[in-house]
Every structure is written in structure tokens, then in C-alpha cells.
Amino acid sequence: MAWRSSGHSNTELIENLFRNGLIKTERVRDAFMKVDRAHYTPHQYAAYEDSPQPIGHGATISAPHMHASAAESLLPFLCPGSRVLDIGSGSGYLTAVLAELLFPAGPRTEDAGRVVGLEHIKELKDLGERNMGKSERGRELMGDGRVEFVVGDGRKGWIEEAMGEKDAGWDAIHVGAAAKEPHKALIEQLRSPGRMFIPIEEKDGFGEQYIWVIDKDEKGEVKYKREYPVRYVPLCDAPK
Ligand code: SAH
């Protein structure tokens, strides 16, 4: 897949992903167009390749086609006012794309919603912030609090104390590292309705991982759907 969608510019990469059916909707395409992947990878020669790249601390920026798949899957839950949690935000690239999907151009409106990037390595939380801060739009979104990067253990999700119980939780949760299980705290923090996109390692397997799409409906009933095999870095303890 990598050789088919790579491009020489951000526009070319995104257009190729769209033409090859990896980005399926114009809404997702337009959001990706607004975020320059070169701001998020230290490997400039490979910025527009459809491949994962190391970003330090054992982390990688995922391949654009994986980010596309995640964004397409979560799309029905990315509406005006939605609250979105990006666990294992790493480079900050997908956090920025999710923000573009949520927030129309221009200054913050009342009830704008929120995107939080959650990292367990402080240096990577800072990296995401720094990368997003390379564009004026990124600085605007972080400056007025629509987007925030925080440090914590993604297996516990992220609870915002300031939010009342009714308003807490997340319409969409993206997990960018492979979990051992669908962590209970994450399911609890999903709103009704809400959706989580999460790679999970197979139980009693040989390290195989699959994307799972976990939906909580209006009544709070949770449904699990196993999608396709993937390879992510583990959702694990922070290094000492
Ligand atoms: N979405 C990111 C993916 C980065 S790789 C990107 O495309 O840039 C996975 C990330 O998950 C790493 O940055 C790693 O530090 C983070 N991670 C691993 N275990 C974690 C945990 N328990 N809590 C929060 N983040 C974690």
C-alpha cells in the first residue's frame, strides 16, 4: 500500500490516499489536506510517504493510511461539539487531523467541543504540542483550548474534573497503541452513543493485533467488532 499512495507533496499524498479508496469521504480528505505531515515527522525526505516512521522514544508516527482508516471509522462521532480523546498521541498528527474534522475554520465558537491528545511520555506530549505549534492554525486551536495535549496512562483514559458528570466522557476515542484488552475505563468513558477505534493484541496468540471498533449505543449497550490485522507499538507502562 505504501508505494501506491506516497506523494511528493502533502496534497499529492492525500489525493493518492483518496484515489486509492483509503480516504473515503471528502470531509476526511479536506481535513487531512489542512495538516502538513512534514510538521509531524523528523524524516523530511519521507514526510509524504505512506509509511510509519520513528519519532523517538520507541514511538512511530503511523502510516497515513492507518490514520485515514481511523478518521473514517470515527467520522459519524465527530460532530460539532463532540469530545474526542486521542490516546498515544505521539507526533500529534492525528490529533491535529481530528481537530480539523471537528472545528470549522476561524475562532472558537461556544460549545465548540474538544480534542485531547494523551501521552504517557512527557517528551512526546511536548513533541505533539511543538509539532502542532508549527502552524498558525495549530497555535490557534491550542491557544484557545479546543485542543490540548496531556500526560497520563492511556489505559485509564482521561477524566476532566471540570466537566460535570453529564458532560464528561468522549464521543470518540482513538487508541494509537496496541492494548492487551479493551480497558474497562475506556469503555466507561465512552459516551452513549460513542465509538472507540483501538488495536488489541489477540489473547493467547503470538502477538497478532487487530483493530477493534467498539460502539456504545444510546441505551449504553456495548458492541465489539473485530476488523483487520495491524502492527502497533504496545500500550504499556511508561519507561522509568
Ligand atoms: N498516533 C501516534 C502514534 C504514536 S505510537 C502517531 O501517529 O504519531 C504510539 C504512542 O502510544 C507512543 O507515542 C507511546 O508513547 C504511546 N503510548 C504507549 N503506551 C501508552 C500509555 N499507556 N498511555 C499513553 N500513551 C501510551
Task: Give residue-wise pLDDT tens across range 12-65.
Answer: 999 999 999 999 999 999 999 999 999 999 999 999 999 999 999 999 999 999
Q: Which of 119, 131, 153, 200 to mutate to test the pocket of ligand 1 (most atoms within 8 A of CB)?
A: 119
Mean pLDDT, residues 80-103 taken together: 97
Amino acid at 210: Y
CA proximity to 220, closest of 190, 181, 178:
190
Residues 78-87: tens digit of each pLDDT: 999 999 999 9
Is there a contact between 106 and 148 (Cβ–Cβ < 8 Å)? no
Mean pLDDT of the region 225-238 = 97
CB 87 within 8 A of CB 177: yes
State the distance from the centre of ligand 1 to the C-alpha of 110, rounded, in angstroms.
31
Q: 240 or 6: whose pLDDT is higher?
A: 6
Q: Of the residues 5, 6, 51, 62, which is catalytic?
A: 62
pLDDT of 106 above 60:
yes
Atom index in ligand 1 nearest the CA of residue 153 equals 23
SS3 30: helix
- Active site (annotated) includes residue 51: no
CA of 233 to the centre of ligand 1 (A): 7
Which is it for the CA torsion 37, 48, 172, 230, positive or negative? negative
Say how many residues make up the chain. Answer: 240
Portion of the chain with pLDDT greater than 70, in percent: 98
| pLDDT tens digits, one per residue of 131-170 | 999 999 999 999 999 999 999 999 999 998 777 666 789 9
Spell out which residues line ligand 1, taking CB within 6 angstroms.
Answer: 59-62, 87-91, 93-94, 118-121, 124, 153-155, 176-177, 233, 235-236
**Whether the Cβ atoms of residue 150 and residue 116 lie closer than 8 Å to each other:** yes
Percent of residues, the chain, with pLDDT higher than 90: 89
Query: What pLDDT score does 197 carry?
Result: 98
